[in-house]
Structure 1
């Protein structure tokens, strides 16, 4: 199994992206001691290198996307909509009253956001639209778990001792008194240099949720159809069990939640 190397991917993309190059390799996906949808553990090969965002996409980065593609302004508690490649016009995100998302300034006719908190209240369609804009994609579930594990077979990328999780993740213990996500990159990275893979916000993956097969697989992309898209990583209000590398969750692609954000991948 190979590792990750931190690089910055700027060429041919409209924004500056911190990324880590993840080398192709084979790993054991799932957890036989976990929930039923995490079983069975099976061998997965990712045949190509890919770049993964070092951080979760922030609300300021998302505001830049909204302005660049001309998403129409909407008021607080309403859904911003725009065309998403392959899906037509879709809901992108809900404008949050507490400032956790970009807001539209009617004086400047611009979406505005500041700070390094991850973008939340974003639908799967909204995450995909951003990934399309930068020339990338949402990670497959296999890419996500491979990158999160970073060469490990333990519950977390740092081992099995959940008492150490607070050094790597914003979750229910470290987020006491906080009513939302924390700025990205303020905890320790995993062994391959990726931040907030455990906790802070759940992350959309490209796959429909489906059962695992028992045999080896190469470059899996999930079920061919379904009602829910995969979420990974846990969020600031979860306990430690929900922040494990293998933990799987899901939601309908049109859902916009305070606990859900995303990061992107780019294939070189």
Structure 2
């Protein structure tokens, strides 16, 4: 089961939180309840006047770098893909969040999220998770369904064989149909064509020939991948694309 945590990026930091650098802590005990696959909300306060939600991230690796004061590093994958940080309404959230104990000089929001050395200390409860998720822009329905399905598969893999078999006995053989609306990018066909011509039938990831030939037109099957995702502000240009075999393409997205 996936747990959700929060971590604080405070005024001692000069720059906005950058998930690509991961999140560092000084002691291994801080991460004793955290595992790969869990998620974390990062909240920052750089100028001591307002708080910002940096995003929601999946924990993909935990390692001891043995270097520096913050030697234990948590590597992250961005789940929210925000265009900009979300400035938080401290007073409004203090009223909305469940009441918690702590220093009465602090707001209820601060008692939840700004305790010294409290990052990753315990999983957030469902009510707090729901409130923080509600602050994030809504995903398109298809992506939300796919993310939920991936989470359900992880939980199924971690359950017992007996529990899976019991659910399989009770489950319908025909899947339910869902109708979703989605948003997609209208890509430039010339960019795709140029990337494929440039690759000349060879995967630019593993440098192996395309795995098969398309039945419909006899061309080598490669998939054009954007190095910086369009959803993350990447350009739909030849310079930002690479032609990959299906295996290398999946690795770029999930490896």
Bin of the TM-score, shorter chain as denominator length: under 0.3
| Structure whose alpha-carbon radius of gyration is higher | 2
**Greater helix percent: which structure?**
2
TM-score, normalising length: structure 2: 0.22
Query: Normalized per residue, which structure has more strand?
Result: 1
TM-score normalised according to structure 1 size: 0.21
